[in-house]
Structure formats: structure tokens, C-alpha cells
Chain A
Amino acid sequence: MKWILFFGALIGLSICGRKRFFGDQVFRINVRNGDEISKLSQLVNSDNLKLNVWKSPSTFGRPMDVLVPSVSLQPVKSFLKSQGLEYSVTIEDLQALLDNEDEEMQHSEGQERSSNNFNYGAYHSLEAIYREMDSIAGDFPELASRVKIGHSFENRPMYVLKFSTAEGRRRRPAIWLNAGIHSREWISQATAIWTARKIVSDYGKDPAITSILEKMDIFLLPVANPDGYVYTQTQNRLWRKTRSHNPGSPCVGADPNRNWNASFAGEGASDNPCSEVYHGPHANSEVEVKSVVDFIQEHGDFKCFIDLHSYSQLLMYPYGYTVKKAADADELDKVARCAAKALASLSGTTYQVGPTCTTVYPASGSSIDWAYDNGIKYAFTFELRDTGHYGFLLPANQIIPTAEETWLGLKTIMEHVRDNLY
């Protein structure tokens, strides 16, 4: 009986530090009497065999589980045989089992990461996204809060998630993550809400995001065009613009990414309300755009603005409204290339990098051009997956892979901002 206590209960095995267990096996040894226990204690206590008891029997008749390193398999087997101890091998290769488990965990970790079972691998309604934002803020009240920054043309709330570790109301340099400004680009909103959950889940665990949040705040707007998004769900899946009314025209909406005050109504936009790139009657005419502009200007200390779009797999920086090179183009280009490389490292998804105007086409009144011209140096546009096969209608099973790889790109940019605050 003392022997049993002597063993102690070394239950479970720590895998911190990522030790490897190739070829190691777990033996289940039958323990029938005190005599057998004393024989086993010899075995277990021998230093050079390096056995690790997983489960020691609390009564006779219960087996003992022991982890046997591969180098010790032969001597242990010989010993057990010579002592007449019965055993069976319950785990033939511990490393293989751990690898398998890891895979499974990652898989389901990606699938459902919140307690109320919001499936991140699916597209959701506006209400569901807003509810999940609220849920994230509720799950991590010290870190995240849902903030209303305005409303849409049809009077829907515009919510951002604010991630901040700052004490009280102290204002820190900030990063703006914009998504869903073009409503039909569903992978954008989906990636954004995944990213929100990722930020709160990884804070305190991942050194990168932890250190970023120690120095800066992050504001995430997953649905920058709520009216358009609802319209794509109810009426027209391929709707792009806002749903504002244009007096005197049967056509609805303006392109919110031609409506910012950066060479407004210049090259690469249309003055025809029926056009998909109609810039609107004047800069910031779209309340959705104005809400963001007002918030950012009032805050006054944004250092980074990233706009998520689809599709084409591009990572771009200013300018769209001119071929003239931005003053910081060289630095932005380097950062973008680094980010694209990090993104590609996950699944091989390749992005082209360059200034908007020559990489895709001229576009005036765009969000990142406005941000850049207003002192927000680190301004980037992501055009997410794919390159035209499914286009806007990206299958839901690509949401998580896209979000995961994009996260690596986002982190690269945010880390650079953190290390180059101005």
C-alpha cells in the first residue's frame, strides 16, 4: 500500500516546450499483488530507463500505465517477461497520436471558436455578425468593446470593435481595419469577424498581437456598408454600392470607395448614378463614409488604415488617383512584400504587390488614399481570394483558410507599425 503512495500519481504528460515522442510507447501493465508492485517499482525507479508513470493503480487489479521511451523498449520488455508481468501496448507511437490530435484540434478550433457556436466557416446575416461582435466584447470585457460610430443611409447601426489594453480612457496610437465597404465582397466581412475573434483569443498567448496591443489600439469595422450587405442577402447578391437615393435618377447608391475626399471625382470614378463606380454628389456624401471619417479625425492618432476587399489577390498601397509615386512608396512596398510573403507561407496563396493605380486601375476618392493624405502613413488595400474562378461567390469552405493566411499578412503590417511609430 505504501508502494502505491510511493509512486505518486503522475497523471498526464506535459507537452510544453514541444518535446517529441517518436516511437515512444505506452504500456498497460497488470498489477495483481504487492509482489508485482515492488517489482515494478524497481523498474520505474531505475534512472537510465527514464520511465514515466502515467497512471498508478489505486487498488490491486487495476493496471498501471507507463510511458516507455523508444530506447528503453527492449530492456523493459525483457524485464517484464522475466518477471512474469502481464502487459499490453496501448499506444504504439505517442508522437503519431499527438500529431493527429493537434490536427483535429486545429480543425475544430478553426470551425467554432465561440461558446455560442458561431460558425466562422460560414457566411452570416448582419444581425448574426452584430450579435457575435457583442458576444466577443462580452467574453473579453477588459480587452474588447463594441462601439457605435454612426448609422447607415437606411438607419442601421455602424458598429466597430475596439481592442484596447489602455487604462481608463487614455488614447493610444491606433490601427483601423476596414471591411465590407463593397457589400458583395463577402469574404471581407467574414474575414473581419474571424479576425476579431482571433485577436481576443490570441492576446496574452501570441507574443506578436500581445505586444501590438500593449502599444496600440485596434479598431475593426467588419461591415462598413450595412445596407448594401443586407441587400446582397435579400435582393441582389452582386450589389456593390450603398443604398442611398439619387434625386432624379432611378439608380440607387454610390460607390463608397470613390466617395472619400482624395481627388474626389477624379480619374477612375463616374458621375453617373447608374455606374458601379459612381462617386456620389460630393465627398463624404455617403453617411457610411462620413461616419468613419469623423471618427478617425476626432480620434486624431491613427497610424495605420487597412481596407479589405475581394477579389484578385492583391496587396496595394497609395495612390489610386494618380501614377505619381507616394512619398513613402518604397517603405510601403517593402512592408507589403513582407506581408504578402507571410500570407503565402501558409497555403501558397500568391498576392501581387504594388500601388493601386498601376496594379489594378486608376481610382479616385478611395479610402486608403484619403487615409494616406491625412497623415495615416501605413495605408493598404487587400484584395482577398480568389483570382476569378469563384470571384465574389467564394465558397464558404475557403473562409477560414483565407482568414488564417490574411491574419499573417495583417500581423506583419501591424508589427511594422508598432516598431515604427511616428
Chain B
Amino acid sequence: MPPSRRPPPASRPGGPRPGVLLAPLLLLALQGVAAAAPAGAGGPEDTPGLQDAELQRGLLQQAARAALHFFNFRAGSPSALRVLAAVLEGRARVNPKKECQVDLVFTTDHYNPEAGEERLGKCSARVFFRNQKPRPAINVTCTRLIEKNKRQQEDYLLYTHMKQLKTPLDIVSIPDSHGHIDPSLRPIWDLAFLGSSYVMWEKTTQFLHYYMAQISSVNQWKTNDDAVDFDYTVLLHEFSTQEIIPCRIHLVWYPGKPLKVKYHCQELQMPEEASGTEESSAVAPTELNNS
């Protein structure tokens, strides 16, 4: 069990994290949704119906993202990564502890744009956000987008490509500043995204979500006879704070086997809070044992 992170600092006048203030609005909207109350009951001014719908939509998208990160990580397949297409339906419930359970159905697409056929996978998920604590609990099942054998073949093909890369890898960042990823390095990006999915799952809350912006360094790249040992630093883009969070990730990937990941993210530097609240060593490395 990973150590739980300390909650963010209390709101200061004029400078709270944007997500925090969304919470009361969200709660009001959700209570309206859960109890099927008429529009306007306990909601904010003017058009509560529209706001409820917007906030509801935002929450469902949050849940879908978290569920997909978790799904991608569990699938452990860099050639079968999925991305959110659309949320079809969903329901959210908030308990007195301000924890939020979301049940939803959404469609997915291939992550890799070159993957060809445009078949949409469909997923149903239950996502449990623990107020502002990370690591939402997730139950998700998806229809098969790629046939299992084909997926294993693709993974193995990817693995053989990776083995052919000349080490040490002479890369500064992927993509480069102009968004270019050399085709020979695309497998590295996909594998890095797979590892980052684990991190992004754990960090997602009902207010914060992430995208992988760039691999800023490759510290180690080893391909043994049947595994890839990959140590890298990735930059995650955090919504809605707009912060860039560097995370050092170490993964071991056996094609066809569950992914092993350790990571350490550098939290936001706040020199004003020198008393050491959200500091870079707040998160101890997390070991994952897949049994």
C-alpha cells in the first residue's frame, strides 16, 4: 500500500488551487443529480441546470480518464493503448465524506493514430474518488479492441524493435520541441506512456488530471533476453493547475506479462512554504507486485 499523501495546504485568500474551489459547486450539483431534485434546489445562481450538466460532464470525463489510465496499465500492452473517445452515459453519487462514486460507460479509440482500423472499444467502469486523495479505486471492463493473439504479436514485434535500438540511446527528449518523434523511437514513447499511465492513474482525483507532455530524459535502457528495463523522466501536464510535474519512472516490461513500475514525482516547489508541506520527497517510491 502506498503511503497516503498529505492533503494540499488550506486555502489562502486569493490564492487557492483552482480545483479546490470547484468542489463546493460540484457537490451542490451532484447532490442535485443524485437526489433527482428539481433544477435550482440548492444550486448556485442563474441557470443551475446548465451548470449541473457541465459539471456532471466534467466529472464523468475525469472518471473516464482515470479508468482508462488504470485499464491501460493493467493491460500492460504498449501496442494496445487506448484513448477516450466519448462518454456515453454516467451517474455520480457523493457520500457525506465527500467521496465520489461514478458509474459510467464510455467508448475508446486506439492511442496510436497509425493503428489503422477505426473500431471503437466500449468500456463500463466504476470509479471511486476519495475526496482529494489520489489513487481512485477502479473497476473497469472493456470490449476487445484488438484480438488477443494479434496484440501479443504486436507487443513482441515492438519488443524486437526495441532490442535493435543502439544503446546508450542518444536522445535528449521525445518528442523534440517541434513535436517530432522519430519512427524508430515510437516504441519508446508508447512504453513510456504505458508506465506513465500507472502514475497518472494514481495521481488523478476528481479535480486533477494529467497528460504526458514529454519524455525529458532516458536514464537507462536495457533489453535483456526477454525484458525491457527502462528508467526515464517524464513531464506530466497537470490540469487545472497548468503545472508541469517531472516524474522519474522505472519500469520493467515483459511482453505478455504485467508491468512493474516504480516512480517518484517532483511536487510543486513552493519556496514560500519552507516549512516543508508539499515537498519533493513527499512520495516514497511505490513498488508494484503483480501476483
A: residues with CB less than 8 A from B are 122-123, 232-233, 237-238, 240, 249-251, 255, 265-272, 274-277, 323-325, 354, 358-363, 388-396, 398
Question: What's the A-B contact tally at a CB cutoff of 8 Å?
Answer: 112
Q: A48 CB to closest chain B CB, in angstroms?
A: 50
Determine whether B111 belongs to the interface, using a CB cutoff of 8 Å to chain A: yes
Contact with A along B200-243 (1 / 0, CB 8 A): 00000000000101100000000000000000000101011111
**Pair A274/B83 contact, Cβ less than 8 Å:** no
**Pair B241/A323 contact, Cβ less than 8 Å:** no
- Most chain-B CB neighbours within 10 Å: which of A240, A255, A268? A268
**Pair B44/A323 contact, Cβ less than 8 Å:** yes
Known: A238-B214, A323-B45, A389-B111. A233 touches B177 (CB 8 A): yes
**Pair A275/B241 contact, Cβ less than 8 Å:** yes
**Pair B271/A276 contact, Cβ less than 8 Å:** no
- Can you sample 16 A-B contacts with CB below 8 Å? A238-B213, A249-B271, A268-B18, A268-B240, A269-B18, A271-B15, A272-B272, A276-B242, A276-B243, A323-B51, A325-B50, A358-B54, A360-B240, A389-B113, A391-B211, A393-B177
Residues of A within 8 A of B241 (CB): 275-277
Residues of A within 8 A of B111 (CB): 389
Looking at the complex, which one of B16, B22, B179, B272 makes contact with A361 (CB distance below 8 Å)?
B22
Q: A240 CB to closest chain B CB, in angstroms?
A: 6
Residues of A within 8 A of B179 (CB): 390, 393-396, 398
Q: B86 CB to closest chain A CB, in angstroms?
A: 10
Q: A325 CB to closest chain B CB, in angstroms?
A: 5
Q: B245 CB to closest chain A CB, in angstroms?
A: 11
**Pair B178/A277 contact, Cβ less than 8 Å:** no
Q: B278 CB to closest chain A CB, in angstroms?
A: 11
Q: A219 CB to closest chain B CB, in angstroms?
A: 27
Q: Which 9 A-B pairs have the closest CB atoms?
A: A271-B15, A358-B54, A395-B179, A361-B240, A276-B242, A388-B211, A393-B179, A268-B18, A270-B15
Q: B75 CB to closest chain A CB, in angstroms?
A: 18
For B177, give the chain A residue with the smallest CB separation: A237
**Pair A277/B242 contact, Cβ less than 8 Å:** yes
When chains A and B are docked, how far (Å) is the Cα of A160 from the Cα of B251? Answer: 48
Q: A400 CB to closest chain B CB, in angstroms?
A: 14
Residues of B within 8 A of A269 (CB): 14-15, 18
| Further pairs besides A274-B272, A323-B51, A395-B179: 7, Cβ < 8 Å | A232-B177, A237-B214, A238-B214, A251-B269, A265-B14, A274-B269, A276-B242
Contact with A along B7-19 (1 / 0, CB 8 A): 0000010111111
Looking at the complex, which one of B21, B178, B270 makes contact with A395 (CB distance below 8 Å)?
B178
**Pair A274/B213 contact, Cβ less than 8 Å:** no
- Most chain-B CB neighbours within 10 Å: which of A238, A267, A323, A324? A323
Looking at the complex, which one of B14, B46, B239 makes contact with A271 (CB distance below 8 Å)?
B14
When chains A and B are docked, how far (Å) is the Cα of A194 from the Cα of B167? Answer: 40
When chains A and B are docked, how far (Å) is the Cα of A398 from the Cα of B175? Answer: 14
Looking at the complex, which one of A270, A272, A354 makes contact with B54 (CB distance below 8 Å)?
A354
Known: A360-B240, A389-B111, A395-B180. A267 touches B271 (CB 8 A): no
Known: A358-B54, A361-B22, A391-B211. A274 touches B178 (CB 8 A): no
When chains A and B are docked, how far (Å) is the Cα of A388 from the Cα of B211? Answer: 6
